Amino acid sequence: MLPLVTAVAEFFVVIAVSLAAVLLNTIDARGFLASATVGFAVVYGGGFQWFVIVAVFFILGVAFTLYKYGYKRKLGGAQGKGGARNWPHILANGGVASMAAVWNFFFPGPVVTAVFLGAISAAAADTAATELGLLSHGMPRLITNPSKTVPPGTSGGVSPLGFVGAAFASLVIGALAIPLGILADPYLLIPVALVGGVFGAVVDSLIGAVVQRKGYCVVCLKPTEALKHCGERTRATKGSPFVENNAVNVLATVAGAAASTALLLAVYAV
Ligand SMILES: [Zn+2]
């Protein structure tokens, strides 16, 4: 196809996928803008193969969120609005991958591909770990102090099921990347995705346990990690006031990108 025809076709694919996400109630209007921005950066910077990976990450996230949604809702750990993601959440999960795509536009190569794959795997792994972890039968344990159990949904809480979810989601991303051929060495894709995903999820839990803002609602007095509850700003009691869930997600995708890149460089160095 002519480059212009391809570019126009890709434009409409990004719009169509983002619009489908709105119609399926998984994102709102601002989420549409955020999702289209990430989509354009990825499709024009990384290519259609990269976009397919981001789209599958998004579908995986929705699937994990809606899986036993009613049960998670009762636990109080479910994402609000039928699992709909808002724009800061989309940018927090897709920001590092988008920047990698912009970088790839100017300087393509295996290193930036590993950065992208690690960031997406970490985002996918963290979503899967959080959503599957909520279904765990035993109480999650604090990653910094495993003898202590915490309520499901608490940042920094980990469970075997959550770990399986993290590994599974990054495996899916790595396996999907093989037929898409985003690296000249396809045998590296699964290990690179797996390392980035699992490391990102672990870093997410560590930051969640140690630095993340925790507090309580001034209206209903329930403990919460959200900035707002019952329509009022919550009061912080622990952690850094600036590090809420989206900031943790950004740091986790950076960690995943770094781990994947380190593995790729280590293999190339041998
Ligand atoms: Zn409240």
173-185 per-position pLDDT tens digit: 999 999 999 999 9
Question: What is the mean pLDDT of the segment spanning 49-61?
Answer: 93
- 117 close to 196: Cβ distance less than 8 angstroms: yes
C-beta atoms surrounding 223 within 10 Å = 14
Residues 166 and 131: their CA atoms lie apart, in Å, by 10
Q: Which two tokens stand for residue 135?
A: 């279904």
CA–chain centroid gap for 216, Å, is 25
Residue of higher predicted confidence among 192 and 131: 192
Distances (CA, A) of 248 to 1, 239, 255, 258: 41, 12, 10, 15
What pLDDT is attached to residue 84?
Answer: 62
Tell me: pLDDT of 83 over 90.
Answer: no
R_g over Cα of the chain: 18
Strands (E), 193-267: 214-216, 223-224, 228-229, 232-233, 235-238
> How close is the Cα of 233 to the center of ligand 1, in Å?
9
Share of the chain above pLDDT 90, in %: 64
> How close is the Cα of 217 to the center of ligand 1, in Å?
5
Read out DSSP for 162-204? HHHHHHHHHHHHHHHHHHHT-SS-GGGHHHHHHHHHHHHHHHH
Comparing CA positions, the residue from 54, 47, 61 lying closest to residue 95 is 54
> How close is the Cα of 90 to the center of ligand 1, in Å?
24
Mind listing the pLDDT tens digit for each residue in 117-148?
999 999 999 999 999 988 888 889 999 999 99
Tell me: pLDDT of 38 over 90.
Answer: yes
SS3 146: strand
> How close is the Cα of 231 to the center of ligand 1, in Å?
8
What pLDDT is attached to residue 28?
Answer: 87
Pairing of strands 235-238, 228-229: unpaired
What pLDDT is attached to residue 260?
Answer: 98
Question: What is the mean pLDDT of the segment spanning 247-255?
Answer: 95
Residues 204 and 197: their CA atoms lie apart, in Å, by 10
Amino acid at 220: C
> How close is the Cα of 76 to the center of ligand 1, in Å?
12
Residue of higher predicted confidence among 187 and 82: 187
What pLDDT is attached to residue 79?
Answer: 66
Question: What is the mean pLDDT of the segment spanning 37-60?
Answer: 94
Question: What is the mean pLDDT of the segment spanning 247-256?
Answer: 96
> How close is the Cα of 228 to the center of ligand 1, in Å?
8
Tell me: pLDDT of 196 over 90.
Answer: yes
What pLDDT is attached to residue 245?
Answer: 85
What pLDDT is attached to residue 56?
Answer: 94
Phi, psi of 77 (to 5 degrees): -100, -5
**Element housing 142 (H / E):** strand 141-142
All structural domains of the chain with their residue ranges: 3-269
Which range has highest mean pLDDT (4-8, 172-176, 219-223, 236-240)? 172-176
What pLDDT is attached to residue 75?
Answer: 75
Is-above-0.85 flag for pTM?
A: yes
> How close is the Cα of 157 to the center of ligand 1, in Å?
22
**Element housing 23 (H / E):** helix 3-23
Instruction: Give the strand order in the sheet containing 141-142.
Output: 145-149, 141-142, 157-158
**Ordered alpha helix ranges (H), 46-145:** 48-66, 69-75, 80-83, 87-106, 110-133
What pLDDT is attached to residue 270?
Answer: 87
> How close is the Cα of 93 to the center of ligand 1, in Å?
26
Comparing CA positions, the residue from 127, 19, 157 lying closest to residue 67 is 127
Comparing CA positions, the residue from 182, 187, 138 lying closest to residue 158 is 138
